[in-house]
């Protein structure tokens, strides 16, 4: 049985603060965010442009960073928090950093469930929010103009992580 703390447990499943775990944090935060009026995706009768145009990439990026790294961004290889140098800004506001200690280049998504995503921060926030609210994948894909298969894969990845996290928590409490 997989337990938080086992060396096999990916770091993003371990609780950064108080043992609630990455998935717990991301779910809670998404639900929290859902009550904020500026994130509303109420159906609009004549919507000619995607809601993502109305949202701020920088604010959503900051939100994602706080969900993924509640203790602050650190080098995924050596754990250093200081000496992180900006390496690239070509996907601004997503910044590539280089660790001055071990020279690893990474961004906020490296080593997390969102690693390798090409989605912009606004889309990611809306996707995670939709998942947390139980919006069907097909509907979410339509609303955001995303590929349904891509969304389904991400949803399965997140569900799998949530399931494993709860199994580990159960095993620990029994
Ligand atoms: Zn490093």
Cβ-defined contacts of 35-39 (< 8 Å, 24+)? 39/125, 39/126, 39/129
Which residues on neighbouring strands pair with residue 6, listed in sequence order? 4
> Ligand 1 centroid vs 101 CA: distance in angstroms?
5
The predicted pLDDT at position 12 comes to 43
> Ligand 1 centroid vs 14 CA: distance in angstroms?
19
Query: What's the pLDDT band for 17 if we cut at 50, 70, 90?
Result: very low
The predicted pLDDT at position 35 comes to 45
Q: Are 83 and 99 in contact (CB under 8 A)?
A: yes
> Ligand 1 centroid vs 115 CA: distance in angstroms?
17
Domain boundaries, the chain: 11-70+111-173, 74-107
Question: Residue 94 phi/psi, 5° resolution?
Answer: -75, 120
- pLDDT tens across 67-115, in order? 899 899 999 999 999 999 999 998 999 999 999 999 999 999 999 989 9
> Ligand 1 centroid vs 146 CA: distance in angstroms?
34
């Amino acid at each position: 049985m997989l337990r938080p703390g086992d060396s096999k447990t990916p770091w993003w499943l371990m609780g950064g603060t108080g043992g609630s775990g990455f998935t717990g944090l991301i779910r809670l935060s998404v639900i929290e965010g859902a009550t904020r009026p500026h994130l509303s995706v109420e159906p609009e009768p004549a919507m000619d442009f995607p809601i993502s145009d109305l949202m701020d990439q920088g604010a959503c990026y900051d939100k994602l960073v706080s969900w993924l790294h509640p203790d602050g961004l650190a080098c995924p290889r050596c754990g250093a928090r200081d000496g992180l140098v900006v390496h690239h800004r070509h996907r601004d506001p997503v910044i590539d950093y280089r660790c001055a200690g071990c020279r690893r280049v990474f961004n906020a998504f490296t080593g997390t469930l969102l690693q390798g995503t090409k989605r912009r921060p606004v889309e990611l926030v809306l996707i995670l929010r939709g998942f947390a609210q139980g919006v069907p994948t097909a509907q979410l894909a339509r609303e955001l103009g995303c590929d349904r298969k891509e969304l389904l894969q991400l949803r399965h990845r997140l569900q799998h992580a949530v399931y494993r996290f709860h199994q580990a928590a159960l095993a620990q409490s029994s």
